A and B are shown apart, each in its own frame.
Chain A
Amino acid sequence: AAVPALRASCKNLCHRHQLFINFQDLGWHKWIIAPKGFMANYCHGDCPFSLTTSLNSSNYAFMQALMHTVDPEVPQAVCIPTKLSPISMLYQDNDDNVILRHYEDMVVDECGCG
């Protein structure tokens, strides 16, 4: 029989949070031509057992969450990105070269318990 999981309020559950990276905040606007910043986002929140059966989680997260309910010594599954996308950056290096480069896995599109 499934052990009744504590009802975690939705807002604490694992989900994607917005995070805008403004290059000016980092002082990088002096050499990054474009973009001025980008929406990177991040994952945060609890992964109770009930969630691992619904959210796009992995099997091992399901087993780990199950074992956590039996033995709290086993850590809970964690909230991680499950879908990422790249961005392109236009910047200037120390030799005055203008460089356009693509970077994988810079934006978090979806989160899940892993």
Chain B
Amino acid sequence: FQLREYVFLQFLGLDKVPSPQKFQPVPYILKKIFQDQEAAATTGVPPNMCYVKELGVPGNVLRLLPDQGFFLYSKKLSQASPCLQKLLYFNLSAIKEKEQLTMAQLGLDLGPRSYYNLGPELELALFLVQEPHVWGQSTPTPGKIFALQSVPWPQGALYFNLPDVAKDWNDNPRKNLGLFLEILVKEDRDSGVDFQLEDTCARLRRSLHASLLVVTFNPEQCPPSSRKRR
């Protein structure tokens, strides 16, 4: 059985039986794609397994990569200093050589949307890290900025498409130094609501969940669709 299992795992693109300690949360979009494929299979009409219609991209493997980065702590929290600084890192080594990357979407989940315990407005900045982290340096040297936006909090999830960055990381793994995320609390004098900065930042750190959804297309498993015979 072990030999046959090994062959099946190779077929799945795995080198050994996964033994996850805990199941990662499965995002809605993956559940929806899976259920749509199952529903299509029951109709007898073979679904196109090499095109992800829900995302509008070619692909036959979708991977949700969890963030493997870490928080950076600034010495003293003040209104001006960032509430949260995090290095985001995604391990793309699971992507096989012959796979072509067709989509990479960063998801930043800032916690459940709710309109009761409104938090302060946040200013979010996302940078590409282009230089290795120098030990002792409190924050990585931020490179190209991707996003700078104000969001009311709690906001739910924010999404950023990073196909070129992910392709570059996939082609040159050494370049994959991650992303630098910085979130400031915007002081809102006229709201009159006094937010305890410490608690607000602690709550934000607890609820932040980052992941990278990557779609790849394997030409060996997805032959170019043969021209329809006339």
Residues of A within 8 A of B (CB): 26, 28, 30-31, 33-35, 85-104, 107
Q: Establish whether residues A86 and B23, one from each chain, have CB atoms under 8 Å apart when the complex forms.
A: no
Asked whether B195 is an interface residue with its Cβ less than 8 Å from the other chain, the reply is no
Among B26-34, B122-130, B154-162, the stretch in contact with A: B26-34
A101 to B11: give the CA distance in the assembly, Å.
Answer: 11
Known contacts A92-B20, A93-B14; is-contact A85 B46 (Cβ 8 Å): yes
The A contact surface, by secondary structure, is strand
- B1-41 at interface with A (beta carbon < 8 Å): 5, 11-14, 16-20, 23-24, 26-27, 30-31, 33-34, 37-38, 41
Total chain B interface residues with beta-carbon distance under 8 A: 36
Contacts of A107 in B (CB 8 A): 41
Contacts of A35 in B (CB 8 A): 38
Work out how many contacts link A and B, with CB atoms closer than 8 A.
92
A94 to B21: give the CA distance in the assembly, Å.
Answer: 9
Contacts of A28 in B (CB 8 A): 17
**6 nearest A-B residue pairs (beta carbon):** A102-B49, A31-B18, A88-B37, A98-B64, A100-B62, A92-B20
Asked whether B221 is an interface residue with its Cβ less than 8 Å from the other chain, the reply is yes
Instruction: Point out the residue from A92, A95, A101, A103 that lies within 8 Å of B23, measured CB to CB.
Output: A92
Known contacts A92-B20, A97-B94; is-contact A86 B46 (Cβ 8 Å): yes
